[in-house]
Chain A
Amino acid sequence: GENVEQHPSTLSVQEGDSAVIKCTYSDSASNYFPWYKQELGKRPQLIIDIRSNVGEKKDQRIAVTLNKTAKHFSLHITETQPEDSAVYFCAATLYNNNDMRFGAGTRLTVKP
């Protein structure tokens, strides 16, 4: 089955700097890659997703890139703000299969 690895497990940046979180997946048939943000004690919320027919997607300060050949995808947050502090999870899933696999999470801390 699919295996998703996420790095780093913790990340601390200064406000205004960029943050990058990387994930690798094992099954080349996976074709949907969402990213979730989870604040302490709250539900995970989708922040951006990408499908395998696209190499990059941007939404304001957030972008995701996908390298299908290398089987890795990354989350980029620019101009970080303290409210970006949270745990971020990547995930991967196969088409026609609802068995979504999550990475272990990255705790991002943005220092004011």
Chain B
Amino acid sequence: DGGITQSPKYLFRKEGQNVTLSCEQNLNHDAMYWYRQDPGQGLRLIYYSQIVNDFQKGDIAEGYSVSREKKESFPLTVTSAQKNPTAFYLCASSGGQGNQPQHFGDGTRLSIL
């Protein structure tokens, strides 16, 4: 969907470095999500946010951090504590509580230098 923009498309991280992945949506959706996708695996939830200034950990939150200061934006920081960060990261949003489809961005592929 053109309503969700992730940047950059490709990102490289050096050892010990924190990097931030951007996710912006103009769909006026309340809820936003970050997923990690590894080859041959499904999408695993890192963090999600149902409203501004509130977010919840998913299954694999360790080594990641998020903020939700604006409804449109939900950036993800991959910290140096995340020892295996190489993956495809997908951001999504949905229009409210459960029973709503999630709309995805084009993803960011993160690699280690």
Is B a genuine binding partner of A?
yes
- A43 and B107: CB pair below 8 A? yes
Picked from A6, A43, A93, the residue with its CB within 8 Å of the CB of B42 is A6
Binding site for B on A (CB under 8 A): 4, 6, 9, 31-32, 34, 36, 42-46, 49, 51, 89, 93-105
Q: In whole angstroms, how far apart are the Cα atoms of A108 and B94 in the complex?
A: 27
- Which residue of B31, B40, B94, B104 contacts A44 across the interface (Cβ within 8 Å)? B104
Determine which of A36, A43, A97, A101 lies in contact with B105 in the assembled complex, contact meaning CB atoms within 8 Å.
A43
Partner of A98, one of B42, B48, B103, B106: B48
Q: Do A98 and B31 touch (CB < 8 A)?
A: yes
* Alpha-carbon separation in the docked complex, A2 to B44 (Å): 12
**Chain A residues whose CB sits within 8 angstroms of the CB of B43 once the complex forms:** 44, 89, 102
Complex contacts, B94 vs chain A, CB 8 Å: 98
Of B42, B90, B98, B106, which one neighbours A97 at CB under 8 angstroms? B98
Please, which residues of chain A bring their CB within 8 A of the CB of B50?
Answer: 98
By CB atoms of chain B within 10 A, which of A36, A98, A103 has the most?
A98
Interchain CB contact under 8 A, B97 and A99: no
Residues on A with C-beta less than 8 A from B101 are: 34, 46, 49
In the assembled complex, B8 has its CB within 8 A of some CB on chain A: no
For the complex, what is the distance from the CA of A43 to the CA of B9, rounded to whole Å? 12
| Sampled A-B contacts (18; CB under 8 Å) | A4-B42, A9-B40, A36-B104, A43-B105, A89-B42, A93-B99, A94-B98, A95-B98, A95-B99, A96-B98, A97-B98, A98-B33, A98-B48, A98-B94, A99-B58, A102-B43, A104-B42, A105-B40
A6 to B94 Cα, complex, angstroms? 23
Q: Mark B89-113, 1 if CB is under 8 A from A, else 0.
A: 0100010011111111111000000
